[in-house]
Chain A
Amino acid sequence: MKPVEIIHLYKTYNKRTGRLWGGAEIKTVLQDINLQLGEREILGLVGESGCGKTTLAKVLLGLEKYQNGSVKINGLEIKELTKVGFKKLRRQVQVVFQDPYSSLDPRQTVRQILCEPWDIHGLHTDTTERERALRELLQAVGLDAAHLNRYPHEFSGGQRQRIAIARALALEPKLLVADEPVSALDVSVQAQILNLLKDISRRRALSMLFISHDFAVARFLCDRIAVMYNGRILEIAPAEELLHNPQHPYTEALLSAVPVPDPLLQKKREPVELKNEYQRAAASCPYAVRCLYYQAAKCKSTCELRQTVQNHFCACAVLPFKNKKSSYAI
C-alpha cells in the first residue's frame, strides 16, 4: 500500500466571467495527474507560480475537493472519508506551510501550539508524559525547553519554521506535505531548515511531498522530482536523472533560467528564449504556446507521460529533439 496514490485526478474551479448575470467559466487547474509516493520517499514538485502545485497539496490534505479521479492515502480514498475518517487521516498527514509568519497563531504560546494537536486527538494526556513528549519534540527540531512559554513574535523566521515543523511532527504522521517551507527564509537559515527536514524525514521514516520552485533545493532533498506546468505533470524522474538529462523542453527552459552562484559560469549561460504563439493554444500540450520544438502534427494530438529512460517519464510528443542543447543540463 503506497502512502500516496493519485490516479487520473482532475480538479476544476468555476470562475465567474465578471459580468453581472454572466455565467461561470470552468477552469481546469489539475488535469490528469498520476502520481505515486513510496514509503520514505521524498517527491519534489517543481513549477512556476499558478501551475497547481499548492492545489495538489491541498487536495492531498483534504482541503480542496476534486471532481474526477482517485486520491488514496495509505489506501484510503479521500473523497469517501467521513468526518471521523478525516480526523484519523490527520494523524497520518501533516503540513508545513510556506510562511511561518502567518501559519502560527500569534496568541498562542509555543506550548499551546504544540499541545493543540494532542488535545484534539486525545494523546499524551498524562502531564508528565506530555512534558516529556514536548521536550522530545523540541529537541528534534533544534529548539529548547526555554522556548515553550514564548509567543511566535519573539522568534525569528527560521525558529518559527522550526516550531511549524514541530507542530507537524506532533502527531507522528507518516506523510508530510511541505509547501515551499524554505522560500520565505533568509539564505543562511534556509540551509539549517533543509538539513533539519532531511534528518527528520530519515529518522522518522517519513514520506514527503516537497513543493518548491527551486531546483537546487529540490535536488538536495528529493529522491524524485516532478515538473508541473498548467495543471499537468510534464516530466517526472529521479532527481539526479532529471537534472542531468532533462527531457521535456519546459524542464530544459526552467533549468536554463536558474542562475548559478558563480559569476564566471553564470556569464556563459544563456536562458532559453520562450515563444509566445497564441494560435497554438488548441494543442493538447499545455506548453505548446511557449515551446521551441513545436510540431503541429504531433503536439496537437497527444500529451501523455511516457517512459523514455528507465523511471524517467516525460510528456512530450516530439521527443527526441534533433537540435536539443544538452548544455542546459547541469
Chain B
Amino acid sequence: MNAREDTLLSVEDLRVSFSTEQGRTEVLRGVSYRLQKGKVLAVVGESGCGKTVQALSLLNLLPAGGEIKSGRILFKGKDILSLSPQQLRKVRGAEIGMIFQDPMTSLNPIRCVGKQIVETILAHKNCSKLQAKARAVRLLRKVGIEKPRKRLREYPFQFSGGQRQRIMIAMALCLHPDLLIADEPTTALDVTIQAQILKLIKTLQKQSGMATVFITHNLAIVADIADDVLVLYAGYCVEQAPAEELFAQPLHPYTKGLLHSLVSLKHKAEHLPAIEGYPPAPGMPQEGCPFAPRCPHVQDRCRVQLPPLFERNGRQVRCWLQENA
C-alpha cells in the first residue's frame, strides 16, 4: 500500500466564512492537510483561530451563517461536501465520530443517557436492543464511569461535567469509527481522567487503526498523543510538522512563543517569556501576516504581504524568515 492509498482524510484549501453584521468574514483562510489511517493530527490554536470551525466542516455541520466557500474534503475517497443528507447521515457517527467541546449542550437533557447511547448504536448497527445496551455498559466502564448499569438509567443533569464529557466520548466511540474528531475533549476534565481518556483513544487507535483529528490548545496533550501538528492562527495554517520535530525545533515565531511561554513542571522559572499582545478577534480584516503585530521578528514586509507556506524538509511554515533559510 502506498502512502496515497493509506490516506483516510484529505482536506484541500478549505475556506470558511461567516456572515456577520459587518458582512461576510473569513474565519478559515485556506487550510490543507492529509491524515493517514491510525495517525493523530493535532490542531493547535487559541480561541477564535478557526479550529472548531475546521472540525465542524469535516462533517458539514457548520452552524447557520457559516459557509464553506471553497475547498475539498475527501474522506475514504468520498467528497464529504457533495454527499446528500442521507449519505452524510450514514457517515456521521458510524464512520466519523465526533466529540463536541461542550458536554452540557450536546446531550438531550430530557432523555436518560442510556437511551441516547443505545439509539446511536441502533441507528447504525443491525443488533438487538439488549446487545446495544451491553455495548453501552462496556463503553461506560471503559471511560471510567462507575456502576454503569445503574447510571444508564440516569439523566444528564445527574452527572458531573466530567462524567458528561465521558459519556459524549463513549457515544463517539461506540461504533468504532474510522475517524474520530475530538474538539477539546479533555479541557473540562481533571488530569487523572484526562490521562484515562487519552489512553483509551490511543488504545482504540492501535487496535482498530482509528485516525484522530484532535483539537486542543494544550501543547502537553499534543506531545502525548499527536503524530503531526497543525498550528492555526487567525484562520491560517502557520506551521505544520511532525510532533517531535515541532517540539524540538519550532520554526514559526508564534509556535516558538507558545512553547516558550508554557509553564514547565521541570524547571522553576522566575519570569515567563510571554507573547505580548492578544490574539486577533475572529474575522478581523487582515493585511500581511496575521501574527505580525505580536511578532518579535517582524519586518516591514510582514505587515503588508502575507507569507506563503514554505516547505522545509517536509514541514510547512508560513513565515518570511523561512524564505531564504
- Tell me the A residues contacting B by CB distance below 8 Å: 48-50, 156-159, 186-192, 194-195, 198, 213-217, 219-220, 239-240, 243, 253-267, 271, 274, 276, 330
* A256: B residues at CB distance < 8 A: 195
B107 at the interface (CB under 8 A from A): no
Determine whether B281 belongs to the interface, using a CB cutoff of 8 Å to chain A. Answer: yes
Q: Is the Cβ of A213 less than 8 Å from the Cβ of B190?
A: yes
B 34-49 binary contact with A (CB < 8 Å = 1; else 0): 0000000000001100
Query: Which of B194, B265, B278 is within 8 Å of A189, CB to CB?
Result: B278
- A253 and B192 contacting across the interface, CB-CB below 8 Å: yes
Q: How far is the CA of A215 from the CA of B257 in the complex (A)?
A: 21
Interface of B is mostly: loop
Q: Are B278's CB and A266's CB within 8 A?
A: no
22 contacts between A and B (CB under 8 A): A48-B190, A48-B191, A187-B217, A187-B261, A188-B46, A188-B257, A188-B275, A191-B262, A191-B272, A191-B273, A192-B275, A192-B276, A195-B272, A198-B271, A216-B262, A220-B268, A256-B195, A257-B194, A259-B224, A263-B243, A271-B192, A271-B196
Given the known interface contacts A254-B192, A266-B223, A266-B224, the answer about A186 and B279 at a Cβ–Cβ threshold of 8 Å is: yes
Query: Do A195 and B271 touch across chains, with their CB atoms under 8 A apart?
Result: yes
Contact of B191 (CB < 8 Å), options: A243, A257, A261, A276: A257
Closest A residue to B220 by beta carbon equals: A259
Can you list, as one digit per residue, whether each of B216-245 has a CB less than 8 Å from chain A (1) or not (0)? 011111111010000000000000000110
| B window 276-324: CB within 8 A of A | 276, 278-279, 281
B74 interface residue (CB < 8 Å to A): no
Listed from nearest, the 4 A-B pairs whose CB atoms lie closest are A191-B274, A191-B261, A259-B220, A271-B195
| Most chain B beta-carbon contacts within 10 A, residue among A186, A253, A263, A264 | A263
Complex formed: what's the CA distance from A219 to B191 in Å?
16
At the interface, yes or no: B161 with Cβ under 8 Å from chain A?
yes
Q: Is B122 an interface residue (CB 8 A)?
A: no
Query: Which residues in window 173-219 of B have CB below 8 A to A?
Result: 190-192, 194-196, 198-199, 217-219
Q: Which of B235-268 contact A (CB under 8 A)?
A: 243-244, 247, 257-259, 261-266, 268
Q: Tell me whether B190 and A258 are in contact (CB under 8 A).
A: no
Inter-chain CA distance A2–B161, complex, in Å, is 37
A274 to B193, CA, bound (A): 10
User: Across the interface, do A49 and B160 meet the contact criterion of CB distance under 8 Å?
Assistant: yes
Complex CA gap A50/B259 in Å reads 30
**Min CB–CB distance A218 → chain B (angstroms):** 9
Closest B residue, CB atoms, query A188:
B275
Give the nearest-CB partner of B190 in chain A: A48
Q: Does B146 contact A (CB under 8 A)?
A: yes
Residues A216 and B265 in contact, CB atoms below 8 Å apart? yes
The complex places the Cα of A217 from the Cα of B220 at a distance, in Å, of 13
CA A260 to CA B264, docked complex, whole Å: 8
Q: Mark B4-47, 1 if CB is under 8 A from A, else 0.
A: 00000000000000000000000000000000000000000011
Interface majority SS on A: helix, strand, loop or mixed? helix
Q: A186 is contacted by which of B190, B217, B271 (Cβ under 8 Å)?
A: B217
Known: A188-B279, A263-B223, A266-B224. A194 touches B192 (CB 8 A): no
Q: Which of B160, B276, B278 has the most CB of A within 10 A?
A: B278
Most chain B C-beta atoms within 10 Å of own C-beta, residue among A48, A191, A265: A191
Contact A187 B262 (CB under 8 A): yes
Whether A191 lies near B268 (C-beta < 8 A) is no
In Å, the complex CA distance between A267 and B195 comes to 12
Whole-angstrom distance from the CB of A274 to the nearest CB of chain B? 6
In Å, the complex CA distance between A157 and B47 comes to 10
Q: Are B274 and A261 in contact (CB under 8 A)?
A: no
Considering the complex, give the chain A residue whose CB is closest to the CB of B227: A263
Are A260 and B272 in contact (CB-based, < 8 A)? Answer: no
Contacts of A262 in B (CB 8 A): 223, 247
Q: Measured between C-beta atoms, what is the minimum distance from B51 to chain A in Å?
A: 12
In the complex, the answer to whether A191 meets B263 with C-beta atoms within 8 Å is yes
Chain B residues whose C-beta falls within 8 Å of the C-beta of A48 in the assembled complex:
190-192
Taking a contact as CB atoms under 8 Å apart, the answer to whether B269 and A220 are in contact is yes
Please give, as numbers and ranges, the residues of chain A lying within 8 Å of B276 by CB-CB distance: 192
Which chain A residues border B247 with CB–CB below 8 Å? 261-264
- Contact status A261-B223, CB under 8 Å: yes
Closest B residue to A220 using CB positions: B263
Report yes or no: A266 in contact with B47, Cβ–Cβ below 8 A.
no
Query: Which B residue's beta carbon lies closest to that of A193?
Result: B274
Q: Are B265 and A219 in contact (CB under 8 A)?
A: yes
Minimum CB distance partner of B261 in chain A: A191
Q: Which residues of chain B are near A188, meaning CB under 8 Å?
A: 46, 257-258, 261, 274-275, 279
Q: Check B162 for interface membership: any CB of A closer than 8 A.
A: yes
Known contacts A156-B281, A213-B190, A261-B220; is-contact A186 B46 (Cβ 8 Å): yes
Q: Given contacts A156-B281, A191-B273, A195-B271, could you give 18 more A-B pairs where the C-beta distance is less than 8 Å?
A: A48-B190, A50-B160, A188-B257, A188-B274, A188-B279, A189-B274, A191-B261, A191-B272, A213-B191, A216-B262, A219-B263, A259-B191, A259-B218, A259-B223, A261-B259, A262-B223, A264-B244, A271-B199
A192 touches B266 (CB 8 A): no
Shortest distance from the beta carbon of A58 to any chain B beta carbon, whole Å: 19
B residues less than 8 Å from A260 (CB atoms): 220, 223, 264-266
Please give me the residue from chain A that is nearest to B188 by CB atom.
A49
Question: Bound state CA distance, A158 and B281, in angstroms?
Answer: 12
